[in-house]
Structure 1
Amino acid sequence: MGVEKEITGLTEAEARERLARYGPNRIARPREVSFLGIAAEEIREPMILLLLFVGVVYSFWGNLTDALTIFVVIVLLVLAEVWNEYRAKKAIASLSKIAAPRARVIRGGQVEEIKTDDVVPGDVLVLGQGTRVAADARLLVSYSVQADESALTGESFPEYKKAGDEVFAGTVVVSGEGKAEALATGKDTRLGRLSATAREIKQPKTPLQNAMKSLAKSLVVVALFFSITIPLLGYLRGQPLREMVLTGLALAFAVIPEELPIIITMVLGLGAYQLSKENFLVKKLKAAEVLGDATVILTDKTGTITENKMSVVEVFPPGGKVLDAALESMTDVSLSPTDRAIADSAREAGSVAKGEVVRERSFDPERKTRSLLRRMPGGLCLILTGAPEQVLKSSSAPRPDIEQAVAAETSKGRRVVAVATKQVPESEQGLPFEELENGMDVAGIVGIEDPPRPGVRQTVEKAREAGIRTIMVTGDHPKTAAYVAGEVSIPNERVVTGAELSRMPDGELRKTVEDVSVFARATPEDKYRLVKALRENGDVVAVTGDGINDTLALKGADIGISMGIKGTDVAREAADVVLADDNYVTISHGIFQGRKFFDNLKKGLKYYLSVKTALVLVFLVPVLLSMPLPLAPIQIILLELFMDLAASAGFVAEPAERSIFEPGQKRKLFDRSMIAGIALSGLSLFAAVFGSYYYALYRGYPLAEAQTFAFAAWLIGHVFLAFVSRSEREPLISLGPLTNRVMDVWAVVAFLFLLAIVFTPAGALIKAVSLAPSQVLLVAVFAFVAIFWQEGVKMLRYGPAGTPAIKRSKPAASHDKR
């Protein structure tokens, strides 16, 4: 290989022109999210078709005014549901764009990171270990590049690639570094031609979404049962047939839970989208489901706990020899933060890399070193860099001075890189690196400082109080790891090394991982074993990874989190989440937000099922008591619009409660408290409506007036219930009645609608009559007493701020599980 010419790549203008000519570098089209497309899907849903059927039949049996009212409500309801689903799916689609694969290219002489979709023929790709090749390309420069082409050929062994060879889109660089000129992109690549059709990418349903869809289908059967049984009982007890048929149709309209799957999509999709704005990019929506359950964060040190702002602070022995050798150990493609810090320091000291690169052995996570063979003016020179203890093993003589310097630097929490050199005869240049890396002359060490990120210590402590352990796994020296862990409040009394882990049986590892929070000189395989051990202990594990060998741990974890800045393409593809800022604080924040999503989902479902329960009771009990029905069929249909809007949109906007920062057991959606809450809230709303209705009948009011009482009680009562349902234990006075703007606006609209019905002639359109202000006030009092008793229970049980009256136990210890 000759001395490399400067490669400047395309200009931005040339890249734009080629992107317009060749199109995006994409094989499969992302599924387009359109309002009309979702509307068409929604209208074809069996439950919506049933509602339309109800409207058509009702039109034949009712009068023209009723028919028009029903279809207006159906249109508004479908539009509301389509809009809610559109917002959620648009948010989910945005996630895939935000977390889209990236590629490093040279443009205008500078290395840039761009979306893979924007790569064009002629771009110069910068390749490194773990890079997924973005286009079919020809290597301009190759430093021992090996590519895994199994995605195309099925061949499991990587192929060595030299300058002039082709690399193909979709293949992975497993070792080495290089630069390649893109020849073909998108459908013109070898991978694109192998794809018979350009399939659309459709977001898969999460387990929770599938479970809710299944639950909704089951509840349809229940809804239809009561929609048939109640009118049938009414008819058998002397109610008019026509009115009973219309009531049954209206009940089917209102009780069928067509909104249930949308609530899940809204909470998860919009929640994940909000997190993406805070550098926590949820690639797979299923991760949003389990975020709140995480009990352990298994995190890297460098760049996650620390700032990833590396600077050389010590060179031993002093002088330029060490920095010269360190600079010569790198290729011009080396872009790691450690390499950049050393290169900057070396160049400031006047060092210049000499000679051409002959061969390279990429960094090996097992050996913690890398090698480079250069042809220098005086002959071939091998430069070995990496972990001091590994480099010292290759030394031709003991170096106690280096060992002492390493101990001094690591005790200060610094990363230490050792450098060794060796002259290699021409006849030996083809020998394996394992043979060449013996009898080295250790030049010295470089001490690099990378301080902890601001806020990490406080976040680790807050996570611990919430029952979430932080375990630090690093490839650094044990003393460096212990120092940094202590700085950020991670227990560091014992540090276990990768060598110790490799000798540890699985049973012992499961016990060790309960007490130890710092693992040093660990390999990706060690990290995977730690993930398995934690999960076997019952923990829910969030794990970070950035390298090609981290994919096992990322896939094995409950939540795989790839680094967005230093992460390889392969790691980002394997992960559920991409951390755009590589910051531990963002991970912890994401988990707390996951708890908020879960709480809000639970609140929305509890409210939704409570009002459906109350609606069934409001009709079932009067029929059993041989009383007239409390709501006219047209009124039932109108109520559906307000019920569903609150459940699907109101609780999505609910702020986080204090309880998300407290330890607790793994959260279940339908536990005993949830089922009991649905029953009690349903009975409370039923009591508000039936109490008002019975009072009006008892006072001898006409049936139309009594039904208006019931209608007013329902509107007021289900608004009250929505506000009471905002927290299971924190009183509304503590939450703040005006802290959820979406719900506040919905409540105002509902009350204005009620006033229009009971105080203007508009009520006649829905079979309602005018009421006196005192009567409306009386109904409001009935509803308040029937529903707000739950607030009194919260105050007595948990106190004014939602904190249990009984003194809480101390925060969980660092090794406790929630």
Structure 2
Amino acid sequence: MSPAHAFSGLDTDEAARRLAADGPNLLSADRTRSLALIALSALREPMFLLLAAASALYLTLGDLSEGLLLAAAGLVTVALVVAQEARSEAALKALRQLSDPVVRVVRDGRAQAIAAQNLVCGDIVLLAEGQRAPADGALLGPDILQIDESALTGESVAVVRSGVPAPPDGALSDRVFAGTLVVAGQGVVRIDATGPRTALGRIGASLSTIGESRTPLQKSTGRIVIWIGAMALVFAVVVALAYGLLRGLWIDGALAGITIAIALIPEEFPVVLSVFLSLGAWRLAQHQVLVRRAAAIEALGGATMLCVDKTGTLTENRMAVAALWSPQAEGRPDDEPLAPALRDVLDTAVRASSPQPTDPMDLALAALAPPATERPEQVWPLATHRLAVVQTWRTPDGRRTAAKGSPEAVFALCRMTASETAAARSALERLASGGLRVLAVAEADHDAAVAAPEELEFRFRGLVGFLDPVAADVPAALEVARAAGIDVAMITGDYPATALKIAGDAGIDVSAGLMTGAEIAALDEAALAARIRDVRVFARVQPGQKLALVRAFQANGAVVAMTGDGVNDAPALEAADIGVAMGGRGTDVAREAADLVLLDDRFGSILGAVRLGRRIFTNLRRALIYITAIHVPIAGLALLPILLGAPPLLFPIHVVLLELVIDPVCSLAFEAEPSEEDAMRRPPRPQRSGLFGLMEIVTGLARGLPILATVLALYLIVLPAAGEAVARSAAYVALAVSNLALALAIGASAGVGLFDPRRRLFWSISASLAVILLTALYAPAVAHVFRFGAPSPGLLSLAVAAGLFAGGWSGLVRWLRARSGAARPPYQPLGAGA
């Protein structure tokens, strides 16, 4: 059978025609909610139901203007919720498009990457280990794949598939089904069924790329909202009964109860969480970080340890053959002429590489010597017990088998003597200490097929050194990590000397030396946790040992972010506090196990995600504190005047107007607030520091009580002299201004200018509220509805000044502290002082 690169595949026009005829290769419809569904959900919110009840009461009393105004306010509230939810849905839809699986196909005679949903019948797909089959099809050629079909059959044991027809009693089959996982091997598949026509599609299964489940934070916040809401409703009923029993005004009591219920129910909490998590995920995607689980956004800002791969994360993953060595000669691949022994090393390495190279080292070899046009007769892929790739080829004289892999594995295959091994190891150490990644190659000639490579007598050919330099932006990114109090550990399967050289070039602390996989395996959990307190370089690590390292770091109190790209990395990615998969070179299994996917595979993107995670966490906490704080004066001003025997200060329409300010301020203005300048010069927050707890509630009360005291005092002082309507106007202006001043005081990031362009949403909301207030104060028809009286310029100025002070005093204190240069606590490295 011809190799995959010999297939021309479909041309672009034919593929487009088939896509239009058959539809996209999707198993389920888009999960985005429509505007109608969002609006229907908003109409069931307690806030809207309370507004509807208040509007009905006013209309029953014949107060047409206030009843209609409340009804309009209810519709505006619904529209605001719909707008926010629609923005969140748009962000999620963009994320789903980014997270669509990508497959390699042959079209127009060349291999290219396309979105899996654009796959059509007749496409030639290149499948490799760790990938999920994107559609149903048939294997072409002699490749042997081990495939996990548990998604279809429930059977956990992998099956063997090949394009070679099976003997009558054989178990091989050429069928590959959508959703099944390639456990080992690589192959070429011609697609013959897509989307709902696949076996998986016919049984009604669906795949999900962004989870719909609520995060722990959303669940806990939902419980808080239900608890506070229930208390608010009970309190509102008690107030309504007391009002009616004490004054005999049952309708007024009902209105007072509704007012207090509206003031107390923190319906902004779930809205704010939804907006922050969805827009936060969207912002991360703009920085090439795809969020697969929203809970990762909550954990990002607290990461204290980054465990990263070497190849492609710290290095460029752009391999080039830099050195060749054999027992007879040593040189570079561009030497003229190249020594025959070195030509044999290069040819053997190519024979042990894939005919359709995708691995960076295979690509580097293919650039020097074109891959074979035929296909190998037999392939033994990389395995845990044999870290080498072995391929058998037909020759005119029989068979030739080539091996390429870790020097230790190839030395074992060759059964080398002590003196032969010593010479090879000396050359290996010299190449590795120069930062080269070194592979050994060997070959064997034989007549009959064998069951395992260990049956053959291999001849050691030599070593190939690959140069993969440290990426240019990595040293600076590591400096940022250190300043942010984040330790970085490099975990690689590479040779120890290579690992130390690359780690030192990148800027990782190598003073404590390194640990090897063998050393890790020899220690129990407690001993390993003690040993790794200072070690930050780990070499010759097996994928399964990454899990032990993650648990050891966590035992030392670290919040661990772990990168991975292979099938066997999945357990470590699952166990880490933040699993990070490589989007470019990572396998589907790694991406499914991870919380985040790096779309560009860059180390700097991880730190960018940490910075955004810190920003999201900080702004979300501020928004929730603001919500708590502003409900204190609203609820207090709705209740205390009644208890003190004064005329009511707030009616439902007043509370609703403030709520229409609170929602956009806390959910959109706070979310848009930029990071503080020193966000990455602070230590990570403590692991046990929750987003919202008793301390935040106390902080909210401390910010809200001064506003309550100031506005109530202003109302009671002005009331005897100016009357109820004017006193209400002055107090309401002070309350509204303090609302905005508090938002700015809590949300403003240190070091960011007051009129920074990124804060334009806040100032737009402030300007809109100012126009509404002035209209309500001085337009007689509107003032009548709000029960306002026009205050004098002096009283209006006093109200504005009182509001600015009551809401903004904490921001002033914060600004003065920042100007004084108060130092933050120094960062203590993990394990310091232990």
TM-score, L = length of structure 1: 0.93
Tell me if the contact between 1:129 and 1:173 (Cα under 8 Å) persists in the aligned partners.
yes
Does the aligned pair in 1 maintain the 2:677–2:750 contact within 8 Å?
no
Q: Is the 8 A contact 1:328 1:354 kept in 2?
A: no
Partner Cα separation in structure 2 for residue 196 and residue 290 of structure 1: 31
Q: 1:180 aligns with which of 158, 183, 189?
A: 189
Aligned-partner SS, 2:819: coil
Match of 2:366 among 321, 343, 349: 343
Q: Is the 1:92–1:269 contact (alpha carbons within 8 Å) kept by the matching residues of 2?
A: yes
State the Cα distance separating 1:366 from its structure 2 match.
5.0
- Aligned-pair distance for 1:791? 2.9
Amino acid at match of 2:827: P
The match for 2:345 among 305, 313, 322 is 322
Q: Aligned partners of 2:652, 2:644: CA distance in 1, in Å?
A: 19
What is residue 622 of structure 2 aligned with on the other side?
603
Distance 1:566 1:4 in 2: 20
Query: Deviation per CA, 1:533-568, whole angstroms, max 9, x where unpaired?
Result: 222333222111111111111112222111111101
CA distance in 2, matches of 1:225, 1:740: 39
Equivalent residues, number: 803
Q: Specify the alignment match of 1:54 in structure 2.
A: 54
Residue 795 of structure 2 aligns with which residue? 775
How far is 1:736 from its partner?
5.6
SS at 1:139 equivalent: strand
Write the deviation string for residues 746-785 of structure 1: whole angstroms up to 9, x where unpaired: 1111122222222333322322121222211111111223
Instruction: Compare 491-500 and 758-767 and name the one that shifted more.
Output: 758-767
In structure 1, distance between residues paired with 2:432 and 2:230 = 67
Aligned mates of 1:817, 1:656 — CA distance in 2: 31
Distance of aligned partners of 1:799 and 1:366 in 2 relative to their CA distance in 1, 3 Å threshold: farther
1:326 & 1:764 partners in 2: Cα distance?
89
Q: Compute the displacement of 1:220 (Å).
A: 0.8
What letter is aligned with 1:478?
A: P
Contact (CA 8 Å) 1:144, 1:161: kept in 2 or not? yes
Q: Residues 201 and 98 of structure 1: is their aligned pair in 2 closer, same or farther, counting only changes over 3 Å?
A: closer
Structure 1 residue 389, shift from structure 2 partner: 2.4
Deviations 1:683-712 (A, max 9, x none): 1221232132122125x1111111111111
> Does the Cα contact within 8 Å between 1:284 and 1:576 map onto a contact in 2?
yes
- Aligned equivalent of 2:586: 567
Q: In 1, Cα distance between the equivalents of 2:211 and 2:519?
A: 45
In the alignment, the residues of structure 2 paired with residue 369 and residue 733 of structure 1 have an alpha-carbon distance, to the nearest angstrom, of 55
Report how far residue 512 of structure 1 moved.
2.0
Mapping of 1:157-556 within 5 angstroms?
157-164=157-164, 165-195=174-204, 203-238=212-247, 240-316=249-325, 317-318=330-331, 319-347=342-370, 353=372, 356-397=375-416, 398-426=420-448, 429-436=449-456, 439-493=457-511, 494-556=513-575
**Corresponding residue number in structure 2 for 1:710:** 731
Q: Which moved more, 1:191-200 or 1:332-341?
A: 191-200
Shift in alpha-carbon separation, 1:277–1:198, aligned structure 2, 3 A: closer
What's the RMSD between the two structures over aligned residues? 2.4
Distance in 1 separating the partners of 2:382 and 2:459: 19
The code of the aligned residue for 1:171 comes to T
Shift in Å at residue 629 of structure 1?
1.8
Q: 1:135 maps to what in 2?
A: 135
Shift of 1:181: 0.3
Contact 1:27 1:187 in 2 (8 A): yes
Q: Is the 8 A contact 1:138 1:182 kept in 2?
A: yes
Residue equivalent to 1:811: 827
- Local SS of the residue matching 1:270: helix
The answer to which of 527-536 and 559-568 deviates more is: 527-536
Cα pair distance change 1:482/1:816, threshold 3 Å: same
Q: Distance in 2 between matches of 1:810 and 1:457?
A: 22
- C-alpha distance 2-734 of structure 1, shift in aligned 2 (>3 A): closer
Q: Which moved more, 1:212-221 or 1:236-245?
A: 236-245
2:613 to 581, 588, 594: 594
Pick from 663, 669, 676 the counterpart of residue 644 of structure 1: 663
| Structure 2 counterpart of 1:141, one-letter code | G
1:243-274 Cα offsets, whole Å, 9 max, x none, are: 33222223323432222211001111101101
- TM-score, normalised to structure 2's length? 0.92
CA distance in structure 1 between the aligned counterparts of 2:116 and 2:631, rounded to whole angstroms: 48
Percent of aligned positions that are identical: 34
The 3-state SS of whatever aligns with 1:281 is: strand
Q: What is the alpha-carbon distance in structure 2 between the residues aligned to residue 3 and residue 268 of structure 1?
A: 47
Secondary structure class of the residue paired with 1:673:
helix
- SS in structure 1 opposite 2:722? coil
Residue aligned with 1:357, SS? coil
Cα distance change of structure 1 residues 732 and 132 upon mapping to structure 2, 3 Å threshold: closer
Preserved contact between residue 57 and residue 67 of structure 2 (Cα < 8 Å) = no
Structure 2 segments unaligned to the other structure (5+ residues):
165-173, 332-341
**TM-fit CA distance, 1:3:** 7.4
Moved more, 452-461 or 755-764: 755-764
Amino acid at match of 2:395: M
For the residue of structure 1 that corresponds to 2:532, the secondary structure is: helix
Matched residue SS, 1:134: coil
Cα separation, partners in 2 of 1:204 and 1:733, compared to 1, 3 Å: closer
Q: 2: distance between equivalents of 1:707 and 1:209?
A: 37
TM-fit CA distance, 1:404: 2.2
- Report the equivalent of 1:758: 777
1:35-83 CA-to-partner distances (Å, cap 9, x unmatched) read 2221112213455334323332333235000011101111111100111
- 1:279 Cα offset (Å): 0.7
What is the match of residue 169 of structure 2? Answer: none
Query: Is the contact made by 1:464 and 1:812 (CA closer than 8 Å) also made in structure 2?
Result: no
| Alpha-carbon distance, 1:240 to partner | 4.0
The answer to whether the Cα contact below 8 Å between 1:30 and 1:200 also exists between their aligned partners in 2 is no
CA contact (8 A) 2:304 2:485 kept: yes
Q: Separation in 1 of the partners of 2:645 and 2:2? A: 98
Change (3 A) 1:735 1:197: closer
Secondary structure in structure 2 of the residue aligned to 1:499: helix
